[in-house]
Every structure is written in structure tokens, then in C-alpha cells.
Structure 1
Amino acid sequence: MYFVYALYSSKSDKIYIGYSENPEKRLQSHNDERNKGWTRKFQPWKLVYTEECATKTAALKREKQLKTAAGRRFVWELIKNN
């Protein structure tokens, strides 16, 4: 089972969209101070959205959809309404 997830950094007002088999573990990785990736400079992150997908292919397809302008608007609306 795979998941598409969205993270939000209130400190930097940024979102990050990705996929993983374990979104909670992936969140820990994004928030780890040893993280050397893009997300490090925007820590801390909060998990704001997860969506279950049956296959890795389906998760990648959905991730790509959420990274479009319409998908990002969807994520921002979730953040705004919570």
C-alpha cells in the first residue's frame, strides 16, 4: 500500500507533496535535523493530508496531479480550512 501525502511548514508557509509507504515515518525523515534535502530549511513540517493508493504507479500518478496548480489549490484549501 502506498500513500500520497502533503506537508505544511507554518514557519515558512510552504507545502511539500510526496508519496511513501509510510507517511508518518517519512514525516519524521523530513523533520530530522540530519536531513540534507530541500525540506530541511523549512522545518518543522506537519502532515496535513494523506491519501491511500493501491499501487506505487497509482500513488505516483496522484502525486503528479496534486503537484499541478489545481492540486496545490486543493492542498492550500485544506490548510486554510483547518
Structure 2
Amino acid sequence: MSLFIYILYSESKDRFYIGQSEDPFRRLTDHNSGKSNRYTFSGRPWLLKANFLVRGNRGTALKLEAFIKKQKSRNLIEKLVDPDFTPTDALAQLVRVPHVRD
């Protein structure tokens, strides 16, 4: 089972959303269809800005998601969505995945 940390962006709200899932593309569809939580409902449409494979299990993915959210740093999130940025230190377990669908 592969787990991913994904970062979505809402142009209408100028906000980012960080989540973790086995299928980030399905989750993007859920967020945009309103099947997801209240936070993302009003920000539709959401765009997938970054997608990272997590080296580890669901516990690792949850810890990394929580770590990113706890930073409360737009600067960090903007670095993570930059394709030239390589995560280090606590985020070194993230492997950038091109978000191209078949």
C-alpha cells in the first residue's frame, strides 16, 4: 500500500489544504465534488499542487501531515509545492511524485 501527502490549492480562497491518502486523485475529486469536509467545501475548485509518496506506513503519513499543518507556515507549503525544492530533515521521507494522470 502506497501512501501520499498531497497539497491542494484554492484560487478563490487563496488557501492551501494538506491531506494524506492512498489515492490523492480520488481525494481531489472528493474535495471538488463536496463529498469531503466542510473546510474544503467552500474553496472549490481545488487544484493539486504537489503530491509526495511517503516512505513508511499510515502512521508515518499521519505524523508528516500533522507536522506540516502544525508549522502553520505558508512559506513552508509554498516551498513544498515548488518542483525544485527537495524536502530535508523531518520531511526527508517525502518523495515528490509528478501529478500526471493516465
Give TM-score scaled by structure 2 length.
0.67
Shift of residue 7 of structure 1? Answer: 0.5
Distance 1:78 1:3, change over 3 A: closer
The AA in structure 2 aligned to 1:19 is: Q
Residue 28 of structure 1: aligned partner: 29
- Equivalences, count: 81
Q: Which has the higher contact order (CA 8 A, sep 6+)?
A: 1
Where in structure 1 do 4 or more consecutive aligned residues deviate above 3 Å? 33-36
Residue 19 of structure 1: aligned partner: 20
Structure 1: gaps spanning 5 or more residues = none
- Which of the two has greater helix per residue? 1
Q: Deviation string for 1:14-61 (max 9, x for gaps)? A: 111110000011000000045562211010100111111131011001
Give TM-score scaled by structure 1 length.
0.82
Distance 1:17 1:35, change over 3 A: closer
User: In percent, how many aligned pairs have the same letter?
Assistant: 33
The AA in structure 1 aligned to 2:25 is: E
Structure 2: gaps spanning 5 or more residues = 84-102
Match of 1:55 among 42, 54, 57: 57
RMSD, matched Cα: 2.2
Shift of residue 78 of structure 1? Answer: 4.7
Q: Distance in 1 between matches of 2:61 and 2:37?
A: 24
